[in-house]
Structures are given as C-alpha cells and as structure tokens.
Amino acid sequence: MQYDKSIKAYEKARNVIPGGVDSPVRAFKSVGGTPLFIKKGKGAYLVDVDGNAYVDFVQSWGPLIFGHTNKVIEKAVIKAVKKGLSFGAPTKSETKLAGIICGLYACIDKVRFVSSGTEAVMSAIRLARGFTCKDDIVKFEGCYHGHSDSLLVQAGSGAVTFGNPSSPGVPSDVTKHTLLAKYNDIESVKKCFESSSNIACVIIEPIAGNMGFVPADAAFLEELRSVCDEHGALLIFDEVMSGFRASLKGAQGVYKTVPDLVTFGKVIGGGMPVGAFGGRVEIMDKLSPDGPVYQAGTLSGNPVAMAAGLASLEQILEDEELYVRLEKKAKRLVKGLSEEAQKAGIALQVDSIGSMFGFFFNDAPVKNFEDALRSDTKRFAAFHQGMLQEGFYFACSQFETGFICDAMDDEMIDECLEAAAKVFKEMA
C-alpha cells in the first residue's frame, strides 16, 4: 500500500497542529509509521487520502455502532441542520432522547446532556461531591474518564501509550483528592476508605476499554457497591464507551450491580459530540438551576447533535436482533484470532462483550492495568502494521478496545482472520 499522500498531509499538519493531531491517540506513536489521513468512510470501511480502503475496527473509537454514513442518521442530521444549528434554548428533541435513556436504565430518573464524555464525567464528579459534601474520589489504575484534571491520574489509553501516567499542568493540589485503587481488587478499594473518610464517590469503567479490553468481575462490582453503601459514597459507572455498546443497557445489561450515577458519550451521539450523565432524582435535582451544583454548556443538547443521537438510539431500539448479531461477529473475530495465534505459537489473550472486543499479546489472563502493561507492545506494533497492509484498521495501541459495527459481515471477519493468520506467521 502507498501512503504518500497521508505522509505529506501529516507533515503539513504537524506544522500547525501539535503532533499533527487533535487527540493524541490518533498519532501512530506506539506502532510506528504515520497516521492515515482519512478521506471518507462508508459502512464498515474507511478510505484514506491515498485511496486505500480498510475494514474499520475503530469506528471513531466507539460511537458508530451502525458503521459510517448510516442513512437514517445522515437524513436526521441534514433535516435538523436545515432548521438551525443551535438555539441556546430548549428543544423537544432533548426531552425525547433523555426519555429513551431514562426508560432503559432503571437507576436513571433524569439526565443532563453535555458535548463530550470528558464533560459528562467531570460534571458527574462535581455532582457527587456536591451531593455528598465530600471531596475525595476513588478511581482505578488504567481506567480513563476523559482528560479533566482530577481524573488524569494513571489514566490508561493515550496517557499510558505515551508513558505519561499523569500529566504536567495538573496541580498536585487537585490530584491529592484522587485516590487510586486496583481494578478487580476490592482490598485496594477498602484501603482507600481506610485512608480517607472524605470519599464522595468511586468511579469505574464497569467494562474497562481504555487499558485494552478488561471487563470487571461480577463479584467485584457487587462488593464495590457494598463498600460504597457502607461509607455513604456514590458509585459512578462510566459507560461513555460501554453504554449501548456492551449491550442495549451497557454494563447494566451484563451485570446486576446498580450504580448511583451513569455517564454516557460515544454511541448516544451517533457520531456527533454528545455526552450525558444521569441518576436518581434526588441526586440530579441538586444540579443548577433547581439545585446548587453549577453545570452548563452553550452547545449542550443542540438540535443537530440530538438528532444524530435520536436517530442512532431509535434504530437500536427498533432492532431486537442488533446486539445478538454484533456479539456473534465479535465472538467470531476473537475466537478466530485466538486460534490463528495459537497455530503460529503466539501467546494471545482475547475477550469480547457485545460489540466490544480486545486482545493482548500476553501469556497470562489480564485482570487489571498491571497485567495489561505486561503485554508485548512490540508484537502489537508488528501486528498493527501487518494488518494495515492487509486492509484492516485496528486502534493504534495495545491499550485500546476494538469495535464491531452492524455494517460488518461474516465475510469481512473471515477475511480479517485470513490476514491475521498470515501476519501472525510472519511475526512468529
């Protein structure tokens, strides 16, 4: 494959944009080569500026559950655009989208919309602090909750890919309120509560996707719930990635544990910038203007973003078989990858839930961030480069999750497995 035009575009971009990208995970830092500049997407495929086409397992890092250029979303957005991009005043579409979310998640009476996952989590944390009148928060090593100051501690994803577990520019006065626990390890959570009586909330990705794909153990989430209750702390599920991805009800369709607050993003915007957070009425009513906890946004809930979100969620609700199909395809892919790796004598850990999947070049199961970091990133880089050459676009880091979209068919997956067999053989 030729990448000449991407290379040129990247050089130009680097002159005027730091690192040539607007989000660090897009740079191919950990896998080598230059990031591909994209011309367009169509269904399961991405097409770069050199005209190469790839089956896309990134899907904009999660939002595009139906794939690129979904006709229903496209139409809804164009219709909304013609009526005005933003009013800074309420529209009925916000109530409709909120109603869908409240209807599906039993623990959510009310939601508020924002424009990104980062904003959703940042606001949920403020609300939890305001509601409990406590300052400290507990997060888990390797979980990513957006790039707001207090959450940029051992944050996985881009932060770990670049070896900066935290970031300069974040005052330690802020992060001193962030206590770190180990994923799937309840003792480490109990220790946090022993060291502080000022904990407002515990925030977790119940199905972690930002240290690679690492689902929580069901028993661990249950224990987490009890520990929070015992100490009067709120439990926040960050479902920005897993919401409407792992299942129709995100992690809550997979586990029994019920959180106090939930954050959303990605799929609920259908490709437009939308985030949301929701919970029980007595918590949500602490938000301004009814309550004292301030939170706001000029473009929050704008009609174009809401139209995309509604068109996405309505299609999801109409299609009872959607998650069954997605899950089947994800299983076909990871099962095949595991078999091909085994044939080539390469140690590979695979897993999937719903339309989310992951694989680690690791000879032991991955239960937490420490385990994930023991993966062979050189092998991952070789795999990534090899698969790109074969026309398959995976996230450019070992510590990310892959996504199946409905536009993918079994044939694409089987072709991917054939390519993987070839790449594994070359790697071995």
Ligand X SMILES: *Cc1c(COP(=O)(O)O)cnc(C)c1O
Question: What minimum distance in Å lies between the beta carbon of 367 and ligand X?
Answer: 18
294 annotated active-site: no
Question: What minimum distance in Å lies between the beta carbon of 265 and ligand X?
Answer: 4
CA distance 302 to 299: 5
The SS3 call for residue 179 is strand
Q: Which is nearer to ligand X, 24 or 391 (CB)?
A: 24
Q: Which amino acid is at 145?
A: H
Question: What minimum distance in Å lies between the beta carbon of 297 and ligand X?
Answer: 13
Evaluate whether 387 touches 36 at the Cβ level (below 8 Å): no
Catalytic residue among 134, 139, 249, 266: 266
Q: Which is nearer to ligand X, 162 or 191 (CB)?
A: 162
Structure tokens at 350: 């695979």
Question: What minimum distance in Å lies between the beta carbon of 116 and ligand X?
Answer: 4
Question: What minimum distance in Å lies between the beta carbon of 117 and ligand X?
Answer: 2
Evaluate whether 158 touches 24 at the Cβ level (below 8 Å): yes
Q: Which amino acid is at 309?
A: G
What phi and psi values does residue 203 have, to the nearest 5 degrees? Answer: -115, 135
CA distance 259 to 23: 30
Catalytic residue among 238, 260, 351, 406: 238
CA distance 258 to 251: 10
The CA-atom distances, in angstroms, between 250 and each of 55, 105, 186, 206, 355 are: 25, 9, 22, 9, 10
Catalytic residue among 144, 183, 255, 323: 144
Question: What minimum distance in Å lies between the beta carbon of 123 and ligand X?
Answer: 12
CA distance 36 to 29: 12
Q: Which is nearer to ligand X, 144 or 383 (CB)?
A: 144
Q: Which is nearer to ligand X, 117 or 130 (CB)?
A: 117
CA distance 173 to 191: 21
Structure tokens at 398: 């070992």
Q: How many residues does the chain have?
A: 428
Residues that bind ligand X (CB under 6 A): 116-118, 121, 144-146, 205, 209-210, 238, 240-241, 265, 275
CA distance 55 to 46: 6
What phi and psi values does residue 45 have, to the nearest 5 degrees? Answer: -105, 150
Q: Which is nearer to ligand X, 20 or 117 (CB)?
A: 117
The CA-atom distances, in angstroms, between 91 and each of 110, 116, 295, 323 are: 16, 19, 19, 30
Q: Which is nearer to ligand X, 94 or 205 (CB)?
A: 205
Question: What minimum distance in Å lies between the beta carbon of 118 and ligand X?
Answer: 3
Q: Which is nearer to ligand X, 240 or 311 (CB)?
A: 240
Nearest to 427 by CA among 371, 373, 399, 387: 387
Active site residues: 144, 238, 266
